[in-house]
Amino acid sequence: MTEISNSKPNRFEHLKFGFLNLFRISDLEFRIFSSILLSSFFLLSSPLFAAESKHAMVATADPHSTRAALEVLQKGGNAVDAAIAAQWVLNVVEPQGSGIGGGGFFLYYEAATKHVYSFDGREAAPGDAYPEMFLDPKTGEPYPFYPSRITGGLSVGVPGVLKMLQTVHDRFGSEAISFGDLFLPAIKLARNGFPVSSRLAKLIDQEKDRLKLFPASAKIFLDTKGDALAAGAILFQPDLAGTFEWIRKDGIDIFYAGDIARDIVRAVRTAPFHPGLMSFPDLENYKVNERAPVRGSYRGYDLYSMGPPSSGGLAILQALQILELYDLSSLGRSVKGLHLLAEAQTIAFEDRSRYLGDPAYSQIPLEKLLSKNYARERSQEINWEFARNSLRGKLHNPNLEGIHTTHISIVDEQGNMVAFTTTIESVFGSGIVVPGRGFVLNNELTDFDLIKSAIRNPKSAIHPNAPEGDKRPRSSMTPTFVFRNGQPFMIVGSPGGSTIIGTVLNIIVNVIDFEMKLADAIQAPKLIHRGEFIEMESGLYQQRKILNGLGKLHHTVMLKESFGNAQVILFDLARRVITGASDPRGEGEAKGY
């Protein structure tokens, strides 16, 4: 069936960073990108990777946040409460990935009504944003993506996660714990400090030149000599603790219409690098949107995911509905099976690039894109001898895609479920910490497209994902629920920018088509196609044979050590067991009771 070993759970203790190197391998007769490892790579056993329970389960990217969420559940809180506590703890222990300065998408299944809700707390562009805002006035060209465009005030969107979590707590939180008290575990950790992990130390080191531009950021994450905090050093965040404490006592208005709002605006507009456009009314007027989730079916399973402005739900549903037309489980990890997996993703990414953006600004033909007929029509375009897209354009530093953003999956004793993906976009977002407030501001506006023809040609329509005032940039976040016969089957999501889509897709296929156990499904090397070329995790495939075969189909393949950091929960209704798994590529923990 597959070539995936049933090896015992492992942990990728060190994240891998590399640079791309295009070269020719004489005996393979095709070009291959390969990332060259710059850091060590150890696989260590971890008892925390996967867990089974009977009643409730939490999977997050860090043991501190998993513990905080479990404590909330054990005190009588529900999945919504637990997810909120986990988010604030993640803000402390993964300050590079998500937090109060960012945005997210929250999917909620209410067991009593069997209804799925989805909430959009995506960052919005300031009202003064405009399509050319990321073009260098001197050259007319877009600012280079890394490190220029992603750094400073210009890329900061109006943060939405705090208001979204207040909204979901008001609607669905239990009465056991107040919204304010859900900050307590994070306040304690921010005040008392915690040892910097090897992953966080590497990420600070990687971003230290950006963090140095902003004294409030350097003060927290660098030492007095300007070096990154080392692994094991204790990271104290008293300013962040103070911000949380203040919101706990006085409520979220101080963030959206009070002193903290004023501090955010000042930090953005007076940033020493790329000062931005955000104004006080942008924060005051920020709205959380409740949206209909996107829905589809795959081999008898029903899926619910996040709709626009996320492209994630639509893209996985489109790709799955193409895959459904073939016997993927028989094809397995053969060259033909992998070619199919790649082509289905390519087609979905083509539509993503063409149509997806903030639904308030353009017509997105959701019904057509999600229809089985359309999947059948597009599947006819698959050429079994020739890759659809071999190499198109350049990726910006794609090795960094797997490590920003974070995901939380939770089910409580009542069967309520949360899939919550949350982000500040790049690692350490814009690089700006709001002085005196201790939190990092996102750089989500870098998720806008800078399509030159749409920006420069006054006759052409603005691209659905070009920057505009108050618009939300297209996301790839894919918090997803899978049901079988009306019963919960899986909760899944991952970080990783536009690789999120492929990560979630691979895990779903591994479980449904290849009938893998959850631990194997999450650990198996993934094949991702984002419309340009194949990106494949190395390791467990019969790599040379596969690469030769894909090369003969004219695929370009980039081997990567890892992407994603999925947090997954799977329900075995027959055995009445809940399994949780936190991706061994990260440092997280799945735990239940």
By annotation, the residues acting in catalysis are 405
Q: Is 252 in the site for ligand GLY (CB under 6 A)?
A: no
Give the residue nearest to ligand GLY (CB).
475
Least Cβ distance, residue 109 to ligand GLY (angstroms): 22
| Residue 196 and residue 229 in contact, taking contact as beta carbons nearer than 8 Å | yes
Least Cβ distance, residue 504 to ligand GLY (angstroms): 12
Q: Is 497 in the site for ligand GLY (CB under 6 A)?
A: yes
Q: Is 477 in the site for ligand GLY (CB under 6 A)?
A: yes
- Quick one: which of 395, 499, 393 has its CA closest to 145? 395
Q: Is 409 in the site for ligand GLY (CB under 6 A)?
A: no
Q: Is 78 in the site for ligand GLY (CB under 6 A)?
A: no
Q: Which residue, 475 or 510, has its beta carbon nearer to ligand GLY? A: 475
Q: Is 567 in the site for ligand GLY (CB under 6 A)?
A: no
Q: Is 465 in the site for ligand GLY (CB under 6 A)?
A: no
Least Cβ distance, residue 352 to ligand GLY (angstroms): 11
Least Cβ distance, residue 125 to ligand GLY (angstroms): 14
- Return the H-helix or E-strand segment holding 489: strand 487-492
If one counts every other C-beta atom within 10 angstroms of the C-beta of residue 226, the result is 11
Binding segment toward ligand GLY, per CB under 6 A, in 195-203, 250-258, 356-364, 471-479: 471-479
In angstroms, rounded to a whole number, what is the distance separating the alpha carbons of residues 66 and 409? 10
Q: Is 447 in the site for ligand GLY (CB under 6 A)?
A: yes
> What is the footprint of ligand GLY within residues 160-199 (CB under 6 A)?
none
In angstroms, rounded to a whole number, what is the distance separating the alpha carbons of residues 31 and 23? 7
Sign of CA dihedral 38, 403, 203, 588: negative
What is the C-alpha end-to-end distance of the chain, expressed in Å? Answer: 33
Q: Which residue, 324 or 425, has its beta carbon nearer to ligand GLY? A: 425
Q: Which residue, 560 or 591, has its beta carbon nearer to ligand GLY? A: 560
| Residue 227 per-residue DSSP state | P
Q: Which residue, 261 or 477, has its beta carbon nearer to ligand GLY? A: 477
Q: Is 406 in the site for ligand GLY (CB under 6 A)?
A: no
> What letter represents residue 523's amino acid?
Q
Least Cβ distance, residue 425 to ligand GLY (angstroms): 4
Least Cβ distance, residue 478 to ligand GLY (angstroms): 9
Q: Which residue, 567 or 579, has its beta carbon nearer to ligand GLY? A: 567
Residues 6+ apart with CB under 8 A from 297: 303
**How is residue 398 written in tokens?**
């794609």
Q: Which residue, 190 or 424, has its beta carbon nearer to ligand GLY? A: 424
Q: Which residue, 217 or 405, has its beta carbon nearer to ligand GLY? A: 405
Q: Which residue, 389 or 465, has its beta carbon nearer to ligand GLY? A: 465
Q: Is 503 in the site for ligand GLY (CB under 6 A)?
A: no
Q: What angle do CA 12, 16, 17 make, to 5 degrees?
A: 165
- Return the H-helix or E-strand segment holding 351: helix 335-355
Binding residues for ligand GLY, total number by CB under 6 A:
8
Q: Is 582 in the site for ligand GLY (CB under 6 A)?
A: no
CA separation, residue 190 to residues 195, 196, 227 (Å)? 11, 12, 21
Least Cβ distance, residue 304 to ligand GLY (angstroms): 18
Q: Is 305 in the site for ligand GLY (CB under 6 A)?
A: no
Tokens 């208005």 belong to residue: 253
- Quick one: which of 388, 395, 372 has its CA closest to 322? 372
In angstroms, rounded to a whole number, what is the distance separating the alpha carbons of residues 313 and 296? 9
From the number of C-beta atoms within 10 Å of its C-beta (0-12, 13-18, 19+), residue 321 rates as: buried
Binding segment toward ligand GLY, per CB under 6 A, in 37-45, 340-348, 390-398, 473-481: 473-481
Q: Is 586 in the site for ligand GLY (CB under 6 A)?
A: no
Q: In the beta sheet, which residues pair with residue 124?
A: 158
Q: Which residue, 318 or 475, has its beta carbon nearer to ligand GLY? A: 475
When binding is defined by CB under 6 A, the residue of 167, 475, 480, 506 that contacts ligand GLY is: 475
Mask for 94-133, x = binds ligand GLY (CB under 6 A): ----------------------------------------
- Quick one: which of 554, 527, 558 has its CA closest to 390? 554
Q: Is 46 in the site for ligand GLY (CB under 6 A)?
A: no
When binding is defined by CB under 6 A, the residue of 174, 318, 405, 506 that contacts ligand GLY is: 405
In total, the chain counts a number of residues equal to 593
Q: Is 423 in the site for ligand GLY (CB under 6 A)?
A: yes
Q: Which residue, 342 or 477, has its beta carbon nearer to ligand GLY? A: 477
Is residue 409 helix, strand or coil? Answer: strand
Q: Which long-range contacts (CB under 8 A, 24 or more apart) does 248-255 make?
A: 248/180, 248/181, 248/183, 248/184, 248/187, 249/180, 251/180, 252/162, 252/163, 252/166, 255/100, 255/159, 255/162, 255/283
> What letter represents residue 364's amino acid?
I
Q: Is 476 in the site for ligand GLY (CB under 6 A)?
A: yes
If one counts every other C-beta atom within 10 angstroms of the C-beta of residue 555, the result is 27
Bridging pattern class, strands 234-235 and 567-572: unpaired
Backbone angles phi, psi at 87, to 5 degrees: -60, -45
Q: Is 425 in the site for ligand GLY (CB under 6 A)?
A: yes
Binding segment toward ligand GLY, per CB under 6 A, in 270-278, 337-345, 474-482, 530-538: 474-482
Binding-site ranges for ligand GLY (CB under 6 A): 405, 423, 425, 447, 475-477, 497
